[in-house]
């Protein structure tokens, strides 16, 4: 399993069977319980990500969508190495990176960068823009000259649309949109090829959202970037993504090219999700109403995680976890009903 396996060159990042659990009961005393007169040790955990397998091709903008709490952000953090995965592995250009020691990870730190959700927390309030921007560059190129560094900062600040003359200012002197631009600039400083963006526009004003989104798309074209874009906003996905992966309760339901997924959603959850997009041209809404609540990730349902809210659920769905199957041109669906041909 540990062996680096050769990969088709267009696959930049592959995530295999990735799971992440957060223990709720960390101490031994919290784990001990009395059950039927006996002392048992039970460990409870939040199962945030459950066996996600995912490929990101070079040049793709893969959007991961899902409700809040479905493990999108955890997936992003695990991919970036901010949290260690509980199980599974992550490959970058065919090399396994999730078990690398810190020093060996540094080469990948240059290639992978992250943009965060909250522009008010993602910049150090005590550092000027210049200090924030030059830190990653200095760290990864210790012998860069002062002129080169200044030049690079000016270039990156201009490309994200922030006046380079403002580089002596502190984050609190900027608006949310400007801060997010500076965050993007920080990620671009080391010339990465892969960027994980964790809901980068959801904390912004609607008017600013489009600007920042266009900025990200421009950067993708100019710098040949690959994105893993976490969002819950389906209109953003349609505008931005080349591929979409739909998550429910920490597992992938469906992944496909954007136009395939929006044109022909296969998984019942995706269908329900897409039917919830408000449309102007429909006189009568055709919402698929899901019953009940999202189950808690502490006690996951057996079998398919979606079975208790799915109108197509059968006994098999209650027992057996579905594996993703290929149903078209790189269109993966994890659903027994689709596999058995009960849907369409």
| Triad 230, 110, 233: Cα angle to 5° | 10
Residues 6+ apart with CB under 8 A from 30: none
Shortest approach of another protein to residue 190 CB, angstroms?
8
Per the structure block, which two tokens stand in for 23? 């223990």
Does residue 182 come out as left (phi exceeding 0), alpha (psi in the -120 to 50 range) or beta? Answer: alpha
Using CB under 8 A as the binding rule, whether residue 226 contacts another protein is answered as no
Q: List the strands of the sheet with 87-92, edge to edge.
A: 45-57, 11-23, 87-92, 95-96
The smaller minimum CB distance to another protein, of residues 167 and 255, is found at: 167
Using CB under 8 A as the binding rule, whether residue 167 contacts another protein is answered as no
Using CB under 8 A as the binding rule, whether residue 276 contacts another protein is answered as no
Number of residues that bind another protein (CB under 8 A): 30
Rounding to the nearest 10 degrees, give the CA dihedral for residues 140, 146, 151, 154.
80
Q: Alpha-carbon distance 174 to 240, whole Å?
A: 26
| Contact positions with another protein (CB under 8 A) in 122-161 | 122-127, 135-136, 139-140
Q: According to DSSP H, which parts of 141-286 are helical?
A: 146-159, 176-188, 206-223, 234-240, 258-263, 268-275
Contact call for residues 315 and 62 (beta carbons, < 8 A): no
Shortest approach of another protein to residue 219 CB, angstroms?
17
Options 99-107, 245-253, 318-326, 335-343: segment touching another protein (CB under 8 A): 99-107
Shortest approach of another protein to residue 189 CB, angstroms?
9
The smaller minimum CB distance to another protein, of residues 116 and 332, is found at: 116
Instruction: Pick from 89, 118, 211, 314 the residue near another protein by CB under 8 A.
Output: 118
Instruction: Pick from 116, 227, 240, 269 the residue near another protein by CB under 8 A.
Output: 116
Using CB under 8 A as the binding rule, whether residue 298 contacts another protein is answered as no
Question: What residues line the site for another protein (CB under 8 A)?
Answer: 77, 80-82, 102, 105-106, 109, 112-114, 116-118, 121-127, 135-136, 139-140, 168, 170, 183, 186, 190
């Amino acid at each position: 399993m540990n062996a680096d396996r050769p990969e088709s060159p267009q696959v930049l990042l592959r995530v295999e069977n990735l799971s992440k659990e957060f223990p709720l009961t960390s101490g031994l005393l919290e784990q001990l319980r009395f059950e039927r007169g006996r002392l048992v040790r039970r460990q409870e955990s939040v199962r945030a990500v459950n066996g996600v397998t995912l490929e990101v091709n070079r040049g793709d903008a893969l959007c991961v969508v899902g409700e809040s709490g479905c493990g999108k952000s955890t997936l992003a953090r695990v991919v970036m190495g901010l949290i260690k995965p509980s199980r599974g592995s992550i490959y970058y250009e065919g090399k396994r990176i999730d078990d690398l020691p810190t020093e060996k990870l540094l080469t990948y730190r240059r290639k992978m960068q992250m943009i965060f959700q909250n522009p008010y927390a993602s910049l150090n309030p005590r550092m000027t823009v210049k200090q924030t921007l030059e830190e990653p560059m200095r760290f990864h190129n210790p012998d860069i000259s002062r002129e080169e560094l200044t030049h690079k900062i000016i270039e990156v600040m201009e490309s994200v649309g922030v006046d380079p003359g403002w580089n002596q200012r502190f984050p609190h002197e900027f608006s949310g949109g400007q801060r997010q631009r500076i965050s993007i600039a920080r990620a671009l400083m080391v010339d990465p090829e892969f960027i994980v963006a964790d809901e980068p526009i959801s904390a912004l004003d609607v008017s600013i959202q489009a600007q920042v989104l266009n900025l990200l798309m421009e950067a993708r074209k100019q710098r040949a970037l690959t994105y893993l874009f976490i969002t819950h906003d389906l209109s953003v996905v349609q505008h931005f993504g080349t591929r979409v992966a739909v998550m429910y309760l920490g597992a992938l339901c469906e992944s496909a090219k954007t136009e395939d997924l929006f044109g022909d959603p296969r998984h019942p959850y995706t269908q329900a999700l897409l039917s919830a997009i408000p449309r102007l041209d429909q006189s009568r809404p055709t919402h698929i109403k899901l019953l009940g609540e999202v189950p808690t990730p502490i006690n996951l349902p057996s079998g398919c995680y979606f079975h208790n809210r799915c109108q197509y659920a059968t006994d098999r769905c209650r027992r057996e976890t579905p594996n993703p199957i290929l149903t078209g041109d790189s269109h993966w669906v994890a659903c027994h009903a689709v596999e058995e041909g009960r849907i369409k």
